[in-house]
Amino acid sequence: MLPEKMEPDLTRIPDVNRIIVNLNDKTTPIVVLFGPQSCGKTMMTIRLTRWLRAHYYHVEPDRNFRPSNSEFYKKMCDSFDENVNSDYAAGHIHLCNFMLIKVSDKYGEPICQILEAPGDHYFDDKYPNMEFPLYIYKICTTYNPKIWMFIVERNWKDAKDRLNYANKIIKMQSLIKPSDRVMFTCHKVDLHPGLFVAGQPNVPQFFKDIENQYPGIFSKYENKNPISRLWRKYNCDFVVFSAGSFNATYEGGQCYVSTCDTYPLTLWKSITKNLQKINKNK
């Protein structure tokens, strides 16, 4: 255990702070997926990509986001389609596996950009006070409007870990611009069948549990309007999500079957609603 005031060993991520990122598109909004390790960001991205492509959207990695001489990033981009179409679940990704994904309509007009990165860059339960990597700070300061998607999970780890993660969310909330949009996504809801009614997730109960288990993460978005607060306590979106079903294989991996379209559809509706509000406020 490290002494309380001692900084964590940054050699655990030897290269990430040296990687230069380049946002070629400086106007299209960025959706930042903020969540800890193994929270399901990658599988959510895969499930959403499958749904978007099935509905005639273009979803491709931005090959110019990282230096052109990076063979590592080139291989990541080259394997994007293979990972999206695979019947096997993505494993824990390497600490330098962060990429920008471009989403366009069927005519090629850009809609948003999605930043997908290892959970360790946002929260490490062994080093809860570790600073965010430099590229995340750079994303915070770009002119691009942003939607911050804070990913949570009901009954995740223990109360101490949830409190530490809540504090990390609150820290990020203090850094983002007031004009940016915020949404919360509760992942892996299929693991809680007791909170389903007639096959549908009980969203208000999931919200109540998340509000209790991650203290303070909604406080900044409390609705001060005495009338609308009667039916909308907070001015932020809350969406529940499940990427699909997973079964262990003899090789030690997991095979994967996508969940029903309701989850990616609801998620995309929330994203597009926030994009519309961004465009309205320009």
Instruction: Over range 95-113, report the average pLDDT.
Output: 88
pLDDT value at residue 96 = 47
C-alpha span between 229 and 122 (Å, rounded): 31
Other CB atoms within a 10 A radius of the CB of residue 174 amount to: 8
Which of 141-145, 157-161, 194-198, 254-258 shows the lowest mean pLDDT across its residues?
254-258
Say how far residue 229 (Cα) sits from the centre of its chain. Answer: 27
Strand 146-153 relative to strand 181-187, pairing: parallel
41-97: pLDDT as tens digits: 888 999 999 999 999 999 999 999 987 777 888 888 998 998 888 877 665 444 447
Closest residue by Cα to residue 111 from 242, 238, 268, 243: 268
Which of 60-69, 139-148, 155-164, 232-241 shows the lowest mean pLDDT across its residues?
60-69
DSSP 236: S
pLDDT value at residue 242 = 94
pLDDT value at residue 89 = 65
Give the chain's mean pLDDT: 87
Look at the block and give the residue holding tokens 């080093």: 127
Confidence band of 14 (pLDDT split at 50, 70, 90) = very low
C-alpha span between 108 and 131 (Å, rounded): 37
178-205: pLDDT as tens digits: 999 999 999 999 999 999 999 999 999 9
CATH code assigned to 25-280: 3.40.50.300
Q: With 0.85 as the threshold, say if the pTM is over it.
A: yes
Angle at 180 between CA 50 and CA 228, to 5 degrees: 100
**What percentage of the chain reaches a pLDDT higher than 70?**
90
211 pLDDT more than 60: yes
The structural domains of the chain, with segments of one domain joined by +, span 25-280
Confidence band of 37 (pLDDT split at 50, 70, 90) = confident
pLDDT value at residue 154 = 97
